[in-house]
A and B are shown apart, each in its own frame.
Chain A
Amino acid sequence: MSVNAKTLDTNEYFYGHKACAGCGGSLAVRGALKVLGKNAVAVLPAGCMSAVGFNFPQLCFANNAIISTFAGTASMLTGIEAGMRRRGIKDFTAVGFAGDGGTADIGIQALSGAIDRNDNIIYICYDNEAYMNTGIQKSGLTPFGAKTTTTPAGQNIHGNIRPKKNMFEIVAAHDIPYAATATVGYMPDFLNKVEKASKIQGTKYIHVIAPCPTGWGIPVSDTIDSAREIVDCGLWYLAEYENGEFTLNKDPKTFTSVEEYLRKQARFKHLTDEDIQLIIDSRDAKWEKIRKNWKK
């Protein structure tokens, strides 16, 4: 059954938390838990969502939830999945929600191990493209050109000098049963991927773009717009990896303006025309490969 506004669970599982206004990450967690329901057992490492949701005695998950070590989202999920199974419990979903740093940097080893073992878990990376919880420092998923508090934009260096690590294809290279990219800007697509993942045996990985107005320098009312535009201008894509094949879910005939997407965000304000051209060129190179090699 397709998940949409009409069929979505009206119960709330993540509420009463202290996330900033316009937080994309909390939206991803809230939506995914509505799909997975009350028997979801959630693991959240140190990061924004654990910082805003687990402040004793104000505990904000209606389902079972636990903070893991920063590096240990996937390994704790493994232990929980094994333990629940040993208790004879069948109707549950072990799901992790880790940020970009918790996934692509400090948590990648444990994630790789879990995929290697094909543990029956869902791992959701909510990607706000920097260490937002600690004050907007560069992560492995910070895009080229973005200004963060550790990649300042000055005369000599224009923000982050490296592109985003390609987590989607890194997990796919493990021959994972299911991986997908998503964005909170296209919520039905994200939620349906969560639902699909919940029905697949083995390790599932979903990478969801989740803008952070504080870190991106956008108005709090622009979270969804930015999360859509990143796909519409081609700097992100909606895709799946399943049965050893990549599938592109959305193939825009024409892209919206990359420059417009970037210029709206304070973190990219300093970029020169040449910087923006580099970003466009890299987008085009990526899409050429996608269109050539992936199913549509």
Chain B
Amino acid sequence: MAEKFLSGDEAFAEGIRLACPEVISAYPITPQTIVVERLSEMVEDGSLDAEFIHVESEHSALSCAMGASATGVRAFTATSSQGLLYMAECLYYASGGRFPIVMMNANRSTALPWNIYGDQRDSLSQLDSGWIQAYAENAQEALDFALMSYYIAEHKTVSTPFMVNLDGFILTHTYEQVDVPTPEQAKAFLPPYETENRLDLDNPKNMAFSAGPDTNYIFKYKEHAGMLRSVPVITEAEKKFAEIFGRQYTGLIDTYLTEDADYILITLGTIAGLSREIADQLRSQGIKAGVLRIRYMRPFPTEEIANAVKNAKAIAVLEKDISFGNEGAVFTNVNSALKSQGVTAPTYNFIGGLGGRNISHTNIIDIFEKIRKGTERVNFIGIEVNQS
């Protein structure tokens, strides 16, 4: 291993180099660009033996990756925001075709109004696209997801594409000390991709076909079941990862002081770090605060979240998303999970960070304050209830 000072994008590119994809097809979009710039440099200097295909759109980026994956080779792409939405048709196609492509998404606001900064409305709008969705908190975790994502996606029982999300700018462009594994370690961790779900001259196949009302639901059920089977594979991957790299991850969620917490903030991505600091601060004042970071939005950690918050007095869900006319998508998912597990503590939604707006120290203190007293079901940070 080697310590390097890397941005989130660069760390992810390092992870992809270690995963050795054979085909990379990508189209540039801020704040994803650094990933594809680094990967193209790695292909140029020979340190990554891959085809780098300069496609003319995000739709083609994923369509091309599907073509490559359909021949049984490891494929990678990366995008963000408008690009993710532009390739949305292909997202559903890739998961329906059971092509275990890995994609990095730099979480960014969606137009209109135009905005290049980070929120999570892009990826959260695609929760139903059949992709495993993971959210990294720091550059190290981003690199590690790059390796683990292929292990999980390509597992024979899973065969499901994998989207790794990095908060735009806050993670993609922030430099941290990162432990970069050696190629030998990576090779010991990640087996080569082998599949029968491929075009094969010796055994020709017709792929990506139509299925009418008689059979369509069976394919959809199998897709759902494949995604659910990723749960034990995530555990397996993390165990093997810890053995080789010495870093143990915690599955679908990551908890901080939740065991005895009265007030728990549930969130995802980089804001979890500041949230933990606030929890510490509140604890020093005698308020039992805790933080739960969702690492995987799909498959959704229904039981894990319910278990972790079951004794809380009140729960906040802080997210960089709003489903207009309703509430944040994370809040909807969390509430459904809690209801199904019989958790009845009140829950409150906090919408923040839209278009890259800073979520401050004070904002998080305020969230804990509000849920202790009771507040509106859906709260927009920075906007009072009677404003519009």
Contacts and interface: CB of A to CB of B under 8 A. Distances in A.
Interface of A: 38-39, 41, 43, 50-51, 53-57, 59-69, 71-72, 74-87, 89, 91-92, 109-110, 112-113, 116-117
Contacts of A50: 210
B63 A86 contact: no
Contacts of B60: 72, 74-75, 78, 109-110, 113
Contacts of B175: none
A60 B210 CA distance: 12
Given A75-B63, A79-B64, 12 more contacts: A54-B208, A55-B212, A57-B215, A60-B206, A64-B199, A67-B209, A72-B66, A79-B53, A79-B75, A80-B199, A85-B51, A112-B56
A71 B67 CA distance: 13
B215 A69 contact: no
Interface string B44-86: 0000000101111101110111111111110100000000000
Interface string B190-214: 0000000001110011111111100
Contacts of A83: 22-23, 67-73, 75
B68 A75 contact: no
A79 B70 contact: yes
A75 B55 contact: yes
A103 B60 CA distance: 14
Contacts of B68: 79-80, 82-83, 86
A82 B59 contact: no
B144 to A, nearest CB: 26
Contacts of A117: 53-54
Given A75-B64, A83-B23, A89-B201, A51 B210 contact: yes
8 contacts: A38-B201, A43-B67, A69-B93, A79-B53, A79-B71, A109-B59, A112-B56, A113-B55
Given A61-B204, A77-B67, A82-B68, A54 B209 contact: yes
B195 to A, nearest CB: 12
A64 B198 CA distance: 9
Given A55-B209, A56-B209, A76-B66, A86 B23 contact: yes
Top 8 nearest A-B pairs (CB, nearest first) are A79-B67, A83-B71, A113-B56, A72-B63, A75-B60, A59-B206, A79-B64, A75-B63
Contacts of B56: 109-110, 112-113, 116
B67 A75 contact: yes
Contacts of A72: 59-60, 63, 66, 90
A114 B75 CA distance: 18
A245 to B, nearest CB: 26
Interface string B20-55: 001101000000000000000000000000010111
A65 B209 CA distance: 9
Given A51-B210, A64-B204, A66-B207, A78 B57 contact: no
Nearest to B219: A56
Contacts of A109: 56-57, 59-60
A43 B67 CA distance: 9
Nearest to B71: A83
A87 B22 CA distance: 9
A76 B210 contact: no
Nearest to A54: B209
A62 B203 CA distance: 10
A65 B89 contact: no
A92 B200 CA distance: 11
Contacts of A59: 206, 209
B59 A75 contact: yes
B130 to A, nearest CB: 15
B90 to A, nearest CB: 6
Interface string B215-258: 10000000000000000000000000000000000000000000
B209 A82 contact: no
A169 B274 CA distance: 59
Contact of B67 (A57, A80, A112): A80
A63 B56 CA distance: 29
Most B Cβ at <10 Å: residue of A50, A53, A79, A112:
A79
Contacts of A65: 204-207
Contacts of B212: 55-56
Contacts of A81: 67
A76 B69 CA distance: 10
Contacts of A54: 206, 208-210
Contacts of A62: 204
A83 B60 CA distance: 15
Contacts of B200: 64
Nearest to B89: A69
B73 to A, nearest CB: 5
B361 to A, nearest CB: 46
A80 B55 contact: no
Contacts of A89: 201
A71 B59 contact: yes
B57 A113 contact: yes
Contacts of A92: 201
Contacts of A75: 25, 55, 59-61, 63-64, 67
Interface string B297-308: 000000000000
Contacts of B69: 79, 83
Contacts of A60: 206
A13 to B, nearest CB: 9
B64 A84 contact: no
Contacts of B72: 83, 87
B66 A79 contact: yes
B51 A66 contact: no
A62 B51 CA distance: 29
B210 A61 contact: no
